[in-house]
Amino acid sequence: MILHTYPAGPNPRRVHIYLAEKGIEVPLNEVDILTRRNREPDFLEKNPTGGIPILELDDGTCVAESVAICRYFEALHPEPPLFGRDAKEQAVIEMWLRRIELNLMVPIGMVWVHGHPLTAKLLKQIPEAAEQNRARTAIGYKMFDAQLADNEFIAGPDYTVADAVALATIDFGTGLVGVPYKDELTNLKRWHEAVSARPSAQAHKAMS
C-alpha cells in the first residue's frame, strides 16, 4: 500500500498524527498540490474530487477521506484504541468528530476560500462569507472550550482520533487561515498546548 499525501495540508496531517499515535509506518508519495498534480487525469482516477490524502491498497482500491483512512488502520491495528473501546465510547467519539467538521473545519474552510489572498487567485471571493464564517469559527471554539472544561481530551479522559482531527483543524485555522481562538478560552488553550507537545504532532514534519 501507499499513502498519497501532502503533509502540510490539514486533512493529510490528521492521518499523519493518527498513524504516529498508533506507531504505524506507511510508504508515502508526496503529491505536489501547488503544481496541481492532484488534478491530473491519472490522479483523478484514484479520487475524482482530486482531494488528498488517498490510501492506495495493494489490490488497487483507493480509500479517500482522512477519517475513513484512519478507520481502515484501526480495524487492522486496534491497539491502542483511538476510535473507542465499546459502543458508548465509539458513539461519543463519532459525535465529536462530526462536531469538529461542522463547527470548525467547515467555517475555517470558508474563511480560507473567501478570505485568504492565496485562494483569491483561484476564484471569486465573497468577503461577507469570510466574515460570517469567522464568527461561526469563534462560536465553534467556545463549544470546544466548554467541552474541555471537564475533560482532558476532546471526547473524554483519553486521547482519541478526535484529538488528532481537532489539532490539525485548529492549527490550520490559527495558522495559515488566520482565525485564532481567544486567549480567554483557557481550556482550549490548555488542551492545544498539551496535544501539540505530543511527538505525534510533529509527525507531518518528519514525514515531509
User: Could you tell me which CATH class the domain 87-202 is placed in?
Assistant: mainly alpha
Q: Which of 161, 182, 173, 192 is nearest to 105 (CA)?
A: 173
pLDDT (mean) for 129-133: 96
User: What pLDDT does 80 receive?
Assistant: 96
Whole-number Å distance between alpha carbons of 49 and 54: 11
**Residue written as grid cell 493518527:** 18
Looking at per-residue confidence, does 208 or 109 come out higher?
109
pLDDT tens digits along 162-180: 999 999 999 999 999 999 9
- Cell numbers placing 54: 488517498
The band of 199, judged by pLDDT with boundaries at 50, 70 and 90, is: very high
Question: What pLDDT is attached to residue 208?
Answer: 43
Supply the pLDDT for residue 198: 97
pLDDT score for 206: 52
Task: Classify 2-81 by CATH class.
Answer: alpha beta
Cα–Cα–Cα angle for 91, 64, 72, nearest 5°?
50
Domain ranges for the chain, please list them: 2-81, 87-202
**pLDDT greater at residue 78 or residue 208:** 78
**Average pLDDT of the chain?**
94
